[in-house]
Structure formats: structure tokens, C-alpha cells
Structure 1
Amino acid sequence: MSKKKNFQVEENETISDCLARMESEGYVPVRRIEKPLFEEQTENGETIHVPIGREIVFEGKIMT
């Protein structure tokens, strides 16, 4: 088992579900990373980026 592992919150999963999954695999969260997700759309000949959501990833380390 590696000392660090990233856990992404899946589309139909709550943050609590992800943290429970981490714990069941023997990891404890040490960092939360959020990245915005954008979609490109064209309006009046201009390309704009519209926010459509976010990606949440937890970095976990092995419990000791």
C-alpha cells in the first residue's frame, strides 16, 4: 500500500461518502483540492468559458 493516495468525489457521491471510502481503505484526509470545470460556448462570434461545476479531490495518507 502506498503512503499517499488521491480520492476524487465521484459524480453521484457526497463528500461524506468519499471520506468514508477513504477511511475504509485505511487513509485519512490531509488536503482538499477543488478545481472549477468550464465549458466553452460561442456567443456572437466570441468564445466564452461558462462554469459547469467543480472537481473535488482529497489527498489521503495512510493511518498509523
Structure 2
Amino acid sequence: MSKKKTFRVEEHETIDDCLNRMKDEGYVPVRRMEKPVFEEKKQNGETIHVPIGREIVFEGKIVT
């Protein structure tokens, strides 16, 4: 088993669900990363990026 693993909060999952999944696999969170998710749309002949959500990823360290 590796010492570090990343866990992505899935589309229909809460942050608590993800943290519980980490715990069930024997990992504890050490870092939380967020990044925005954009969608490209055409408006007046120009391409614009519209925010549609965010992606949350936890980095977990194995519990020893």
C-alpha cells in the first residue's frame, strides 16, 4: 500500500462522505486542494469561460 493517495470528492458525494471513505481505506487527510471548473460558451462571437463548480481533492497519508 502506498503512503500517500489522493481522494476526489465525486459529483453526488459530500465532503464528509469522501472523508469517511478515506478513513475506511486507512488514510487521514493532510491536504485539501480546490480548483474551479469552467465551461466554454460563445457570446457575441467570443469564447468566454463560465464557472460551473469546483473540484475538491484531498491528499491522504496512511495511518500507521
**TM-score for the superposition, normalised by structure 2:** 0.98
How much does 1:52 deviate?
Answer: 0.4
C-alpha displacement at 1:8, in angstroms? 0.2
1:21 deviates by: 0.3
Query: What is the one-letter code of the residue matched to 1:9?
Result: V
Percent identical residues: 80
TM-score scaled to structure 1, two decimals? 0.98
- Provide the alpha-carbon RMSD of the alignment: 0.4
Query: How many residues matched?
Result: 64
Gaps of 5+ in 1: none
Structure 1: 4+ residue segments shifted above 6 A: none
Unaligned runs of 5+ in 2: none
